[in-house]
Chains A and B, each alone.
Chain A
Amino acid sequence: MAEVYSTLRTPLVLDNKSYSDITRDVCETLDHRPSTAWWAAFIVSFSLLVIGAVAIAYQIATGVGVWGLNNTIGWAFDITNFVFWIGIGHAGTLISAILFLFRQKWRTSVNRSAEAMTIFAVICAGIFPIIHTGRPWFAFWLIPYPNFRGPLWINFRSPLVWDMFAISCYFTISFVFWFTGLVPDLATLRDRATSKIKKKIYGFLSFGWDGSNRTWHRYEKVYLLLAGLATPLVVSVHTIVSWDFATSVIPGWHTTILPPYFVAGAVFSGFAMVLTLMLIVRRVLHFESYITLHHIEQMCKVIIATGGIVGLAYATELFVAYYSGNEYERFAFINRALGPYGWTYWIMVSCNILAPQLFWFKKLRRNVAVVFVVSIIINVGMWFERFVIIMTSLTRDFLPASWSAFTPTIIDIATLVGSFGLFFTLFLLFSRLLPMISIGEVKNVLHYANNGKGDKK
C-alpha cells in the first residue's frame, strides 16, 4: 500500500511501520545478549559508580571535611549536584504528565525513557541531601515519625523539611506513574518471553494484564489521574528546592524570583538531558523511525522557550540587585559576574543563554550533531548555574572578614563523577530490561498523519 502522508501534519512514526514492527523494533534489543558497545558503556559507567561509591564511603567514614567546604561555604558540590539532578528529573514529568494532558502526541516516543531518566536522576539527587549531612546515619531524623524523644518533632519551618517531603513525594509519584505506564509493555514482554524466569518476572510485574478492553479502560483512567497528580509536582518540586535559597537571608539567595527561575531552569536542563540520552539511544538502537527529527525539533523548541525564561531571570536578578539599592545584594551580583568566580558565571551565561540561540534556526534544530553538542553544553551550563547560585553567593556575604574561597577536593569530583556513573548505570540496565519506548502508546499514534500498515486484526 502506498504511503500517504498528511501535508499539514508531520507523522510521528516514519518508515511505514506496522504494529508488529513496533513491538519487534522496541523489544528486539531485549532478546539478544548485550552488545559489545553496551558492555563497554556499562563498564565505564559502573566504574564511575564504583569511584563515587568509594568516595562516599570514605567521606562517611572520615567526615564531610574531605570535601572542599569551609566555615563560610557550607554547601558547594553537594547541593549543586542535588539541585542539578533534581532539575534533570523535571523533563520526564513534564513530558509524561503535562504534555499528556495537553494531548501532545509526540511525547509517546520519548516519555518512557524520559520518565526513567527522571527516576534515575531523582535517585542520584536523593543521595546528596543524605550524604551532605555531617552525620548521615541520623539523616532519618528529617522524617517526622513517632518517637520517644519528647516526642521530638521536626521543624516544619525549615525548607529542608519541605525538600524532604517534595522529593520523596516526587519520587513516589514519578515511580508509580512510570510503572503504571509500563504495565502494558511488561505484558508484551511477558508474552514474548522465551525463558520461564523471564516470563515469571515480567508476568508478576505486569499484574496479570490481559489486554482486554476493560483493562485498557481502567489503565487509561489511572494514567490520566496520575498525570493530573504529577502535574503540580513539575512546578512544586523545584519551587520548593528554590526555597532552600529564597527563604534565606544571604544576598544572592534571598530573591523571590528563584521559584519560576528554578522551574524553568529545571525543565530546560531536563530537556537537554533527554535529548542527550535519546540521541544516543536513537542512534544505537536504530529508533530513527520513532524518535524522528520532528521529535528533536519539538524538544529544541521547549529548550529555547525555557532557556529564554532562564535568560530573563538572569537579567531580572541583575536589574533588581541594581535597583534595590541594597549594597550587599548589589555586591553579591557584581561579585557573581566579576569576582574571583566570575568565570563560572560566564560559563553559565554562555552555555545557557548563548548556546541555545542556535535553535532559532530550523536547519540546526534538525541537525542531530548540533543538537547533541548543544544539549551537552546546556547540561554543563545548568550545573554551573546551580554552582554559581549556591557557591558564589556564600563566598562573600555580609562581613568581609569571613569571606572565603572554595576549591573542590578529589572526593568532591569523585562524588560528582560517581553520580553520573550511577545515572548511566541505571539507564543502561533499564535499556536491557525494559522497553525504552512505550510500545502501547506509540502504537496509538502510529496512524497520526500517517497511513501506516497496522497489523491485520
Chain B
Amino acid sequence: MSHEHHPKDEELQTGSGVGRRDFLRLAGFSFAGAFLAGCQQGKIEKAIPFLIQPEEVTPGLAYWYSTTCTGCSAGCGVLAKNRDGRPIKLEGNPDHPISKGGLCAVGQASILSLYDSHRLKGPLLSGKEATWNEIDAQVTSVLSRIRQTGGRIRLLTGTITSPTTRAVIAKFFSRYPNAKHVEYEAISCSAILDAHEITHGRRILPRYHFDRAQTIFSVDADFLGTWISPVEYTAGFRAGRTLEGTPPKFSHHTQIESQLSLTGSNADERIAVSPAEYEGILSQLAILIGEKGGRQTGLTSKINPEMERRVQRIADRLWQTRGRSLVVCGVNDLRLQLLANFANHLLDGYGNTVDVQTPSFQTNPNDAALQDVLHEIKAGDVGALFIAGGNPVYDLPEGETLGANMRKIPLVVSFAERMDETASAATMVCPTPHFLETWNDTEPVHGAVSLTQPTIPPLMKTRSFIESLSAWMGESQTAYDLIRAEWRSTVFQRQSSKKTFDEFWNDTLLKGFVTVSAPTFSQSAFDLPSFTSSLNKTDVPKDDGSMMLVLHASPTMMDGRNAHNAWLQELPDPVTKTVWDNHASLSRNTAEKYGLAEGDIVKLEVQNGGDVELPVHIQPGQHDAVIAVALGYGRKGTDRFTNIGPDWIQARPTVPPGALVGKNMAPFVGHANTLLTYITNSVTISRTGRSYSLVASQEYNSLRDPNLLGEPTGERRPIVQEATLAAFSLDPSAGSFRKPHLETMWPEDHKYTGHRWGMAIDLNACTGCSACVVGCQVENNIPVVGKDEMRRNRDLTWIRIDRYYDENNDGSFSVSHQPMMCQHCGNAPCETVCPVLATVHNDEGLNQQVYNRCVGTRYCANNCPYKIRRFNWFEYKRGDEMQKMVLNPDVTVRDRGVMEKCSFCIQRIELAKIEARNSGTRLKDGDIQPACAQSCPAQAIVFGDMNDPESKVSKRMKNPRFYKVLEEIGVRPSVGYMTLIHDRPDDKEKQHHG
C-alpha cells in the first residue's frame, strides 16, 4: 500500500487545485451522477451527516462495546463491533472468564436477529397494536384486582442469570400474596439439579471443569455442541488436550451415546448404545469404582459381557486418574444423574473437576415446578400469567393444550420478541428488545458478573422485561437505573479493588465483566443415605428391545429460539451436514430393515398417541434401536423463508408450500415422574412411500474411494492425517505423511520480503462446531442462498467444515472434522488460468480475488484442488432492507456472475497495518485475527506472518504434526493442518486384542 506512488499527490502539490486527472474524474463523476439520477433505478436514499458529530464516532472507523451474549444462558462475553451507529459483528471477548474469546455459531448469528423485520414493532393488546400506556393501564388494573382477591400470579421464564432481573422479580412479587416464579428449559437438565439437591443438599448446577479432567466419561452429554455451556466446555476440553510436555498433556474422553453428537464425533472412544443401557453402564461403573475404593455400593447391574469388559477399562482409567476424572451425564433422568454424582463422588471429582462450591447458574430449570404451574393453569387457578423467555406453547409437550388453557386466564402477558406461538395465545404482548439494544446483567457462574449494554437505539418500540415490571410497580425506572441501583447495593459490595461505584461501573462497562467475590456455597459432603434412599425410589429402565425415539437439541436451532435466523437455518449441522430441516436419523441397519433410503418419508407413531411424518436420514454411528430427531424445528412463521432463495424457472421453494421449516417434535417430549424426558420407548415406523428432498452440504462422507455400490473402500486419502496418542508419544510426526520432495524448473521469483501470511489449523483442537462458518459469513457479507441452492451445492460460504466418517472393517467408527478455506497457494492453480487477471498473488502471499475484474469464467474454481471458490450464480437476496444493516461496509457486496472466496479477511489485515503505521509501531503477532480464528472457541485456527519466526503460525508450522493438504501436487498452500490425535488403541494393538 505505502509504496504506491500516486500521480495524484504530485498534482495536488503543484497547487493547481483541480488537476487534469481530477478534472476528468470529476467530470466523469458528475456525468455518471446525472445519468444515474436520470435512470431513477432504485430508491434515492438520503445520507445526512451528523448535525453534531458524537465525540467517539469517526465515520468509517469501528468502535467496540463489550457486552454479553444472551443467545443462550451460558453468558459468553462479547465485543460488539459498531460502524456508523449500528452493530455489525460480534466477537468473543478474549478476557472473559467463561468464553475466553470464543463465540459459538448461535452467538455469531444472533446479530442477524437484531435486524429481523419480523420482530414485533411495538406492544400488542388482544392482538392489536397498542401503546405502552394502554398496556400499563390494563396490566395494573388487572393486577390490583388480583392483589385484592389474592389470585395467583405466575411467571414462567427461561433460566434467569441476571441478578438485577431476579431482584426486580422479587420486588414485584413481594406486592402480591400468591406469586411464583418458575424457570424452565424446553431442553431441560433439571435432573442434574434435582440430583444435587439429593446428594449435596442444594439444588445447584455444578461447574464442570473439563480443563482439569484427565479422564472424561460422558453419558449422552453433548458438552461440545449443545449442553449447558458449549463454548466454555470446548475451551476447557481443548485446554486439557494440548499435547504439550512429556508425557503429552492429553485427556482421554469416552462418550456413551445412542446417536452421533458433535461431542461423540470428537471422542477418543465412542460407544453407541441403546439409551436403555445407560443405567446398566453407569451402575456397573459405580460398582467397579466402588470396588477399587474398597466401598460397597449395594448396586446391581446387568450388562452384556462385551460391554462389561469395556466398562472395566473405562473404570480402570477413571480410577487411575481419580481426582482428575470427570463423569457427566446429559440425560434428564434422576437415576442416571444420581449415579453420575455417585461416580464423581467416588472418583473425588467434587472439589476438583466438579465444582459445587462456586457453582454455575447457566441453566436452572425446575421441571417439577413447571408441572405444578401447568396443572394450575389447567385447573384455571391462575389469575395472571407472565411468560418471559421460552415459548411454552411451542416447546412444551402439551403446548397446544397450554395454549388453549391460557386463553381462560384473565391476563396473559408474553414478553416475546416476535409473534410466536405463545405470544399468539397471550392477552398482550410486551416485546422485549434484542440484547444489543438494551441494558442487562448476568452472573452465569458464581462470581463472574457481566454487563450487557445497548449498542444501538431500539429499532422497535420495545421495553425490556425489568422496565415493564418496574412500570407495573408504578416506578417506571429504566433498565439502566435498575441495574445500577442493584449493582450499587450488591455487586459493588462484593469487591474491594474499586473505591467508588462509578469507577467500578465504568471499569466493568469497559471490560464487559467483573470478577467479584463469590461466597462459597458450603461444601456439603456427599449425602450417601439420601443418595441410596432416593436411588431406590427411582425406576430401573426396562429394555423391551423396541425402537426408541431420541429427541436431541440442535446446535443451531437449540430449543427453537433460532428458527427465524436464516444463517443458522442454513448452517450445516456439524454432524449430519443437513440444512433447513430436521429429520428422523436411523442407523444403516435399521434403514435397511425397513427398506428405507435417505429422504424417504416415514411415519413415526408413539404409543400414547401422536404421530409425525419425517424424512429419513441415514446416520452412521447411531444405535440400531434408535430414531433420533432434533428439537427446535417446525416453528410458526418459518414459512417466511419460502422464497429466500433466488427466483428462477426451476427454483424450488426453501419451505414446501403450506409447511414450516422442519417438524416440531416437542409434542413427543415425555414425562417421567415430573421430569421432561426426551427418550420414548415403543415407537413404530411405517413407510409412507413418499420421499422428500433432504439437503446436506456434503454428499460423500468418507476419505476412502467408493466402490461400485458407492460404499467407501480401499485406501484412505491423506487429506486428514491422524495418529494415535501412543504413536505420537513415540514419534511426534506420526501420521503426518512424509513431506514430498518437489522438483521445480522455476526460479523462486516471489521473494516475500515483507509479511507472508499463513494459517495453521489444529485438527486436534477443532471440534467441528462451525462457529467459524457463521463468523465468516457475518464478517464477509455472505448471503443466504436457500435450500434449493444448497441442494444444488451452491452455498457461498468461504469456510466450510468437511466432516468425514471412517467406518473400519472391525466395526470401529471415527469422525474427523476439517475446516477448509482458500489455501492461498504460493503456486496457485487458480491464478494461472484466469484470463483477465481477476485473481492474483500479492507480495504478502495472499491470493486475491478482484471482483470488479472478474468476468466469471469459473475456470479458477474448476482448477482449485480444494474446491473452495464460490460463484455468484444469481443476484442473491440479502434479506430485507433492515437486514442489509448488518452488512460489513469494509467488504464488497458481490454482484452476480463473479467468483469469490476466502480473503484471509484482508480488510482486517489492512486495518491492522494502517493502525500500526499510524501509531508508528510494528505489527505484532496476533494483531490480525481473521473472523474464523477469532470466533474459534478451541483456538484451532492460528493466523500470522510466516516470515516472523516467532509468530504462533511459524511455530506451528515447525511442529512435527504440521502438514499441508495435497502438498504433493505442488500448489504450495499457505494453510496447513496439524495432525488429528486420538487416544485410541493402535491398529496393531487392535489386531492383538481382537
Contact = CB atoms under 8 A, between A and B. Distances in A.
Interface of A: 58, 62-66, 68-75, 132-136, 138-139, 141-142, 152-155, 157-161, 164, 244, 247-250, 327-328, 331, 334-335, 338-340, 394, 396-405, 409-411
Chain B's interface size range is 35 or more
A155 B701 CA distance: 37
B795 interface: yes
A164 B820 CA distance: 34
B871 interface: yes
B172 interface: no
A161 B789 CA distance: 31
A397 B865 contact: yes
A327 B717 contact: yes
- The CB with the most chain A CB atoms within 10 A, among B698, B873, B899, is that of B873
Contacts of B859: 74-75, 158, 160, 244
Given A66-B648, A134-B854, A159 B836 contact: no
A7 to B, nearest CB: 58
Interface stretch (B432-440, B465-473, B826-834): B826-834
A132 B833 contact: no
A63 B898 contact: no
B479 to A, nearest CB: 46
A63 B867 contact: no
B270 to A, nearest CB: 21
B133 interface: no
Contacts of A74: 858-859, 861-862, 871
Contact of A71 (B702, B795, B804): B795
A158 B867 contact: no
B649 A134 contact: no
A335 B710 CA distance: 10
B803 interface: yes
B835 A142 contact: yes
9 contacts: A63-B873, A64-B897, A74-B859, A134-B855, A134-B897, A135-B898, A155-B836, A247-B833, A401-B804
A134 B898 contact: yes
Contacts of A404: 699, 793
Given A164-B835, A249-B971, A404-B793, A71 B855 contact: no
B832 to A, nearest CB: 5
Interface in B870-888: 870-875
B853 to A, nearest CB: 7
B609 to A, nearest CB: 41
B532 interface: no
Contacts of A328: 717
B863 interface: yes
Contacts of B898: 134-135
Closest 8 CB pairs of A and B: A134-B856, A134-B897, A65-B873, A74-B858, A401-B802, A402-B867, A70-B793, A135-B897
B869 interface: yes
- The CB with the most chain A CB atoms within 10 A, among B706, B965, B966, is that of B706
Contacts of B858: 64, 69, 74-75, 132, 134
Contacts of B966: 398
A349 B800 CA distance: 38
B873 A158 contact: no
B498 interface: no
B317 interface: no
B703 A153 contact: no
Contacts of B874: 62-63, 65
A62 B858 CA distance: 17
Nearest to B861: A74
- The CB with the most chain B CB atoms within 10 A, among A66, A338, A409, is that of A66
A71 B869 contact: yes
Contact of A63 (B700, B802, B820, B896): B896
A154 B840 CA distance: 12
Nearest to A339: B706
Contacts of B29: none
B866 A398 contact: yes
Contact of B794 (A70, A161, A405): A70
B708 interface: yes
- The CB with the most chain B CB atoms within 10 A, among A153, A158, A339, A401, is that of A401
Given A132-B858, A161-B835, 4 more contacts: A63-B897, A75-B858, A334-B705, A402-B866
B792 A250 contact: no
B715 interface: yes
A403 B829 contact: no
Contacts of A401: 698, 700-701, 800, 802-804, 818, 820
A75 B860 CA distance: 11
Contact of B870 (A71, A248, A396): A71
A139 B708 CA distance: 42
A52 to B, nearest CB: 15
A399 B836 contact: no
Given A134-B871, A135-B897, A400-B804, A70 B792 contact: yes
Given A63-B896, A71-B795, A394 B835 contact: no
Nearest to A66: B648
Contacts of A75: 858-859, 862
Interface string B701-730: 111011010100001010100000000000
A157 B827 CA distance: 13
A153 B971 CA distance: 24
A250 B965 CA distance: 15
A58 B649 CA distance: 9
Given A153-B837, A399-B820, A248 B862 contact: yes
A338 B706 CA distance: 10
A394 B862 CA distance: 7
Contacts of A159: 833
Nearest to A61: B648
A133 B857 contact: yes
A408 to B, nearest CB: 10
Contacts of A249: 829, 863, 865, 969, 971
A398 B973 CA distance: 15
Given A65-B873, A133-B856, A250-B865, A155 B835 contact: yes
A431 B853 CA distance: 43
Interface in B631-655: 646, 648-650
A400 B837 CA distance: 29
A135 B699 CA distance: 29
- The CB with the most chain A CB atoms within 10 A, among B698, B854, B857, is that of B857
A158 B650 contact: no
Contact of A62 (B648, B836, B865): B648
Nearest to A409: B650
Contacts of A394: 862
